[in-house]
Amino acid sequence: MVKQNIYDILKGKFLIKDDAIKNWRFIVFASFLALIMIASSHWADEKVHKIAKLNEQVKELKSEFVDARTTLQQLKLESYITKKVASRGLAPSENPPKKIRVKSQQ
């Protein structure tokens, strides 16, 4: 009996019997769910690749930012500015600056 049932399944008799419409509905439903699972998996993989790509871009931009900030700090140094303006005949002041106070006449 069990052997006959296995042969019937392998031959596909469950698809052509009188009550086969139930089996066909289930097969179509299971196939639809499988397609949804496959599509969802592909979308998730695309998202993972996009996130990895964006993380790489963030790392590159952070590196560029650090380089730019370092360059800016070097450009703001007094010694660098002194060298640059020396060619124009400018030099740092020997006397410290003085405050000028204006008294209001009210």
Q: Is the dihedral of CA 26, 30, 35, 37 positive or negative?
A: positive
Tell me the residue range of the domain where 24 lies: 2-86
**For the chain, what is the domain count?**
1
Three-state DSSP state, 12: coil
The string of pLDDT tens digits covering residues 17-75 is 777 788 788 889 999 999 999 999 999 999 999 999 999 999 999 999 999 999 999 99
What local confidence, expressed as pLDDT, does residue 74 receive?
Answer: 92
The answer to whether residue 96 sits within a structural domain is no
23 neighbors 14 (Cβ within 8 angstroms): yes
What local confidence, expressed as pLDDT, does residue 5 receive?
Answer: 79
The answer to whether residue 44 sits within a structural domain is yes
Look at residue 16 and tell me whether its pLDDT is greater than 90: no
The answer to whether residue 63 sits within a structural domain is yes
Burial class (CB in 10 A: 0-12, 13-18, 19+), 20: middle
The answer to whether residue 82 sits within a structural domain is yes
The answer to whether residue 103 sits within a structural domain is no
